[in-house]
Structure 1
């Protein structure tokens, strides 16, 4: 089952998401020998979509989100490999001599060469800085926001706005925000609502 945006929301969506992760780690379907997802051949992406359609009852409206999810997991897999097998070594010789056990030799050699380039190092630096600024913690665990929204709307017979969903997923059981950044955002939402209702000059 999907919502109006093509996002899976049924209880089995967790298994579905994990399955997409296995596709992202498949060397034949999603090779690691590409610098970015955009360089990945369109036919490979189409092959993955067809595999998903063959296993799950998915609609065409879910295609973009499905491929995007695989992309995110593919990039996450590369980050995992870099952290566990590349960054822990001092030289390329050591990295090449100690490759990940489940990665093809040619793919690992490509990644080692690529990550050592000035451009890749600059991109990595910027990404690290961006991640450092991401301070808002949510409370949904592995459950997607789409599924959380669907469950609340069904249980309480209401229609959640994006602000409502943010608040529901960024407060603890005691009703307090998960962190300072989330608290500021929630206060901003409340102020905006009051302004729209004419309660704030």
Structure 2
């Protein structure tokens, strides 16, 4: 059973076996510190849904390294609850993906909703859909500071 990104777990090919370190699900596995397989898109979608939810991961953190451990642990628990097999070795890779998705989400929000109207004094009052209002207010206030210019 050879499909793009998916190795046959029953294979005894000595050239393939070293690359098959962990199987996460029947169609997801770790290979060379990367997630591969047919269900990777579903897993990435799940991670995106989690980290784009401001009630789970607020937009008010300066960067992913400031996200508290209890939030990271809750994300990890959700991932483990949704996979048949999920070894602890996957957690750093999963969190790296979450970091990337969250950072991209935050940048898109700033580019779409803040930058075009950055000088609008009423911008804080015009909360984009799916953004927690208190977080939008804090994000607008922060983006208007000189610290935000340095942190780009």
User: What TM-score range do you get, normalising by the shorter chain?
Assistant: 0.7 to 0.9
* 1:27 counterpart residue number: 54
Structure 1 residues not aligned, in runs of 5+: 125-201
Instruction: Give the number of the structure whose alpha-carbon radius of gyration is greater.
Output: 1
* 2:7 counterpart residue number: none
Deviation at residue 6 of structure 1 after TM alignment: 4.2
Structure 2 residues not aligned, in runs of 5+: 1-27
Deviation at residue 81 of structure 1 after TM alignment: 0.5
**Deviation digits for residues 166-187 of structure 1, max 9, x if unmatched?**
xxxxxxxxxxxxxxxxxxxxxx
* 2:133 counterpart residue number: 105
Partner Cα distance (2:91, 2:150) in 1: 32
Are positions 1:55 and 2:82 aligned together?
Answer: yes
Structure-1-length-normalised TM-score: 0.58
**Deviation digits for residues 68-111 of structure 1, max 9, x if unmatched?**
11111111111011011000104252321322111111100111
* 2:64 counterpart residue number: 37
1:85–1:98 CA contact under 8 A, matched in 2? no
Deviation at residue 118 of structure 1 after TM alignment: 0.9
Partner Cα distance (1:62, 1:25) in 2: 21
**Deviation digits for residues 7-28 of structure 1, max 9, x if unmatched?**
2211111111111111111122
State which of 17, 37, 44 in structure 2 corresponds to 1:17: 44
1:92–1:112 CA contact under 8 A, matched in 2? no
Alignment of 1:115-194 (within 5 A): 115-124=143-152
Partner Cα distance (1:90, 1:75) in 2: 20
* 2:122 counterpart residue number: 94
CA RMSD of aligned residues (A): 1.4
Structure-2-length-normalised TM-score: 0.75
Partner Cα distance (2:71, 2:138) in 1: 19
* 1:161 counterpart residue number: none
2:118–2:144 CA contact under 8 A, matched in 1? no
- Going by fraction, where is helix more abundant, 1 or 2? 1
Count of residue pairs brought into register by the alignment: 124
